[in-house]
Structure 1
Amino acid sequence: MRDDGPAVGLPPEPLGPAADDVRRRLLERIRSGDLRGGERLGAERDLAVEYGVSRSTLRQALSALEGQGFLRRTPGRGGGTFVTAAKVSRDLSRIVGLPALLRDQGFFAGTRVLSAAVVAADAVTARALGVAPGAYVHDVVRIRLADGAPISLEHARFPAARFPDLLEQSLGGSIYELLAARYGVEPAEAEEQIEVVEAAGDEAAVLGTAQGAALLAITRTTRDEDGVPLEFSYDLFRADRTAITVRTRGPRGTALSAGAREQASGRVRRPR
């Protein structure tokens, strides 16, 4: 299920019955998906007519929803009132392609392929993929979209010798699903390291955020059921659009396991 957004709290100031009724009706449209994240509302004049209230009453309702985190208002030309985009829950407890993850949460998944090329592996990539330095790897850079808005910048590398014609295939969907269908290779284990970084100018431009904005950087090495590496990637997620979820199991009252300590330090190994 898609997250409804921020928890509903009391408006900063008590609303009259008319303003509260408009607030509730708009909130219902947001929760039902009739108004989607990132969508711009109509002009205040038109909204006031639609809901049968004065513009001052409408502004009270909009201010209440803005205070609760469901709307954001931006001034100036091109500004307006927008529905706050719901966060994508990035579940590190299972290995699944981002399109399936987005669909499971009610988002419309999209992809823009920025580049796809065969390159020589640098030392870091070679070590992660278990190939010789200079060996050929497929280098794929894509923007991932949730409801048409950029959510992540994905830079992934795959051993070219193992997947010789990968770049001739459609790269707009899940590469994990493509590897399974075409090569019979499925991911069974992934180790991911997470850190917070600031968006550089080019990264901010493609992700539609401000330069210096917080991004979640995830460095991932994925292996098959035999423990052979099949992917090495570096993904940048918009921190304002992403929530990280990790599920762990263990007896109550015991010290943290090695895996839990890894998670606490920002490194997560997903079991096979």
Structure 2
Amino acid sequence: MTVDLLGRTPVLQRHHGVPAHVQIERWLLAQIAAGEIVTGDRLPGERVLAAALRVSRMTLRQALDELARRGVLVRLPGRRGGAFVAEPKLDCDLTGVAGFTEQMRRADRRAGARVLSARTVAAEPPVATALGLPAGDPVHELVRVRDADGTALALECSWLPAAQLPGLLERPLTGSLYDLLGRGYGLAPHTAVEYLEPVTADAADAAALGLPVGTALMQVERTAHSATGVAVEFARDRYRADKVRLMIRTEVTG
């Protein structure tokens, strides 16, 4: 549905230091925050909206392009295309040592998992180093697509020390891995070091998540240790940047 914005376009301030396209971005964000335009609404066409705002189409496109880059709008080509209000991104809370299932619980979503592969392999040098093992030692390699309420959000690749976790791959692997490590082996992750890095989807990522190659993803590389200091997981999780915002809570300490 094309939303009627033409009757409430703002009067842009021309000479007070804030570019017109930034004022348009702020106005549209305020309209979304107030619920005046909602997910799935289509904005009026560029020519009509630019005329109502008394700006050039180039200026309007600057605003729309920036909001599309930030995931606020989705721009589609063709006669039935246009600029649409995107679904709000899901906040994944990485505070503490929270697996995907716990992150979704915090967001009031139902977590799911689809196992792509589960096998025991020889640890390659980066995996061995992270887990404190000699290169070539056996590790369990688990690759899963994680979803929230049926929407694929992340591709998880985890490596775990096989000697510490006998029979792990014979257990159910579609739930919380961290709960399984705790209940089954007494090795629940207690501390973790995580690195966040923007990446783009390669062919394997794209196939697993149903995305075009080159789509923006956010990678979280993590090494997790148990309370006794055992390295229990080295992981590279790749989240869809169009669906997820990663959040970390902090507090001031003395």
Residue in 2 aligned with 1:211? 213
Match for 1:122: what amino acid? E
Alignment of 1:36-115 (within 5 A): 62-63=42-43, 72=74, 74=76, 84-115=86-117
Residue in 2 aligned with 1:13? 6
TM-score by length of 2: 0.69
Q: Is the 8 A contact 1:88 1:102 kept in 2?
A: no
Shift of 1:84: 3.6
Q: Deviation string for 1:6-49 (max 9, x for gaps)?
A: xxxx975226xxxxxxx99xx69x7xxxxxx8xxx8xxxxxxxx
Q: Which runs of 5+ in 2 are unaligned?
A: 9-30, 45-63
Residue in 1 aligned with 2:194? 192
Residue in 2 aligned with 1:180? 182
Shift of 1:72: 4.9
Shift of 1:78: 11
Q: Deviation string for 1:175-228 (max 9, x for gaps)?
A: 100111111221110001111111112312221222212110111000011222
- 1:243–1:168 CA distance, 2 compared to 1 (3 A): same
SS in 1 for 2:6: coil
TM-score by length of 1: 0.65
Shift of 1:63: 2.8
Match for 2:98: what amino acid? V
Alignment of 1:92-171 (within 5 A): 92-171=94-173
The percent identity for this pair of structures is: 40
Q: CA RMSD in A?
A: 3.4
Shift of 1:173: 0.7
Q: Deviation string for 1:112-131 (max 9, x for gaps)?
A: 10000000011111111111
Shift of 1:90: 2.2
- 1:106–1:135 CA distance, 2 compared to 1 (3 A): same
Shift of 1:80: 11
Residue in 2 aligned with 1:242? 244
Instruction: Report the Cα distance in structure 2 between the residues aligned to 1:74 and 1:88, rounded to whole angstroms.
Output: 22
Q: Deviation string for 1:130-188 (max 9, x for gaps)?
A: 11111110000000112212100000010001000000000001110011111122111
Q: Which runs of 5+ in 1 are unaligned?
A: 1-9, 16-22, 31-36, 42-60, 253-272
Residue in 1 aligned with 2:50? none
Q: Is the 8 A contact 1:62 1:71 kept in 2?
A: no
Instruction: Report the Cα distance in structure 2 between the residues aligned to 1:138 and 1:111, rounded to whole angstroms.
Output: 17
Instruction: Report the Cα distance in structure 1 between the residues aligned to 2:158 and 2:253, rounded to whole angstroms.
Output: 36
- 1:77–1:152 CA distance, 2 compared to 1 (3 A): farther
Residue in 2 aligned with 1:266? none
State how many pairs are aligned: 205
Shift of 1:88: 2.3
Q: Is the 8 A contact 2:92 2:107 kept in 1?
A: no
Instruction: Report the Cα distance in structure 2 between the residues aligned to 1:11 and 1:81, rounded to whole angstroms.
Output: 13
- 1:248–1:73 CA distance, 2 compared to 1 (3 A): closer
Instruction: Report the Cα distance in structure 2 between the residues aligned to 1:151 and 1:229, rounded to whole angstroms.
Output: 26
Residue in 2 aligned with 1:259? none
> Which of the numbers 201, 207, 212 marks the counterpart of 2:203?
201
Match for 1:178: what amino acid? L
SS in 2 for 1:107: coil
Runs of 4+ residues over 4 Å off in structure 1: 67-83
- 1:126–1:74 CA distance, 2 compared to 1 (3 A): same
Instruction: Report the Cα distance in structure 1 between the residues aligned to 2:226 and 2:215, rounded to whole angstroms.
Output: 35
Shift of 1:247: 2.1
Shift of 1:85: 3.5
Q: Is the 8 A contact 2:143 2:156 kept in 1?
A: yes
